[in-house]
Amino acid sequence: MKRLKKYLTPVIMLIVFEAIAVTLWLTKNNIFYLFNFSYIGISLALGTFLFIRKYSHARRVVQLLVGLYMLIYLGLICRENMQIEGFWYYLFTGVFEAATIHYAVAKIFGPLLFGRGWCGYACWTAMVLDFLPYKTPEKPRKKIGWIRYITFAASLVFVSALFLAGVGGLERIMFLAFIIGNAAYYGVGIILAFALKDNRAFCKYICPVTVFLKPMSYFAMIRVKCDKDKCISCGKCRKVCPMDVDVTDNSRKRENGTECILCMECVRNCPRKAL
């Protein structure tokens, strides 16, 4: 029984996503939602299961399963703009579909439960950036996080301007914006990673989505916590953290606390199993 208990988390995860899948399928009368959220739930549950089984590439498996599905199937084949511009677009048209549902689940209300799990396990931008050589930052964090507010405002202004100007063919423009936007994200993300010797530099300074993610994940229920009785203050957790989180501080105000992507590198590397 005890051996089975450790698999409770993937089971709960699967149940939560199935509940979302079935609810949206029935309320929106669209079987796509059943397929979509079941697929994502199964991918996440599989990743959690592999992590519990101590498979070292568990997180990468989930990143590829979810990230490629969203980028290639939803983005390129179904032509859904799942980036922040797509969110504004669907929001302005008053349609609770695609990007608005995606943002509500993964980036606005979901983080109250699983923090920035999206960034660690599903984002198709980070899926590529995490293959680069600087898995842990080689330089101290820079104080340029304000850039994210400029990119956030730029995305809002761009879509607002299209609506205010009454531009036609918005569906096609949003698809082009998805392709160009992704190419720009990958380009800037890769250049920054090499320039700052930090794979996640784009996430730390540029990504507009963090304007939603950071405040919501402040209240996250799922967090990495430190058992102070076991911790010997060796500093290993901080060293391996890609996001510079002071994970030994259990308060919500811990340094870079809203940056945690739940990658579990600190947990895996703690010599005292204190996390």
> Interface with ligand SF4 by CB under 6 A: which residues?
119, 123, 125-126, 202-203, 207, 209-210, 224, 226, 231-237, 241-243, 245, 247-248, 260-266, 270-272, 274-275
Task: Tell me whether residue 198 or residue 265 sits nearer to ligand SF4 (CB atom).
Answer: 265
In the chain, DSSP finds a helix count (H) and a strand count (E) of 15, 0
DSSP secondary structure, 89-108, as one string: HHHHHT--SHHHHHIIIIII
Q: Which helix (H) or strand (E) holds 269?
A: helix 265-269
Sign for the pseudo-dihedral over CA of 59, 64, 65, 68: positive
Task: Tell me whether residue 34 or residue 71 sits nearer to ligand SF4 (CB atom).
Answer: 71
Q: How far is the CB of 27 from ligand SF4 (least distance, A)?
A: 27
Q: Pull the structure tokens for residue 195.
A: 């320039």
Q: Pull the structure tokens for residue 159.
A: 């879509």
Q: How far is the CB of 266 from ligand SF4 (least distance, A)?
A: 3
Task: Tell me whether residue 28 or residue 254 sits nearer to ligand SF4 (CB atom).
Answer: 254
Q: How far is the CB of 189 from ligand SF4 (least distance, A)?
A: 7
Task: Tell me whether residue 49 or residue 202 sits nearer to ligand SF4 (CB atom).
Answer: 202
Q: How far is the CB of 245 from ligand SF4 (least distance, A)?
A: 4
Q: How far is the CB of 236 from ligand SF4 (least distance, A)?
A: 4
Q: What is the dihedral of CA 154, 156, 157, 162, to 10 degrees?
A: 130
Measured between alpha carbons, how far is 20 from 7 in angstroms, rounded to an integer? 21
16 CB burial (10 A radius; 0-12, 13-18, 19+): middle
- The DSSP symbol for 141 reads P
Task: Tell me whether residue 193 or residue 209 sits nearer to ligand SF4 (CB atom).
Answer: 209
CB 159 within 8 A of CB 88: yes
Residue 75 CB: number of other CB atoms within 10 A?
A: 20
Q: How far is the CB of 192 from ligand SF4 (least distance, A)?
A: 11
- Report helix angle 147-164 to 210-217, nearest 10: 120
Task: Tell me whether residue 174 or residue 275 sits nearer to ligand SF4 (CB atom).
Answer: 275
Q: How far is the CB of 122 from ligand SF4 (least distance, A)?
A: 8
Task: Tell me whether residue 21 or residue 128 sits nearer to ligand SF4 (CB atom).
Answer: 128
CB 43 within 8 A of CB 65: yes
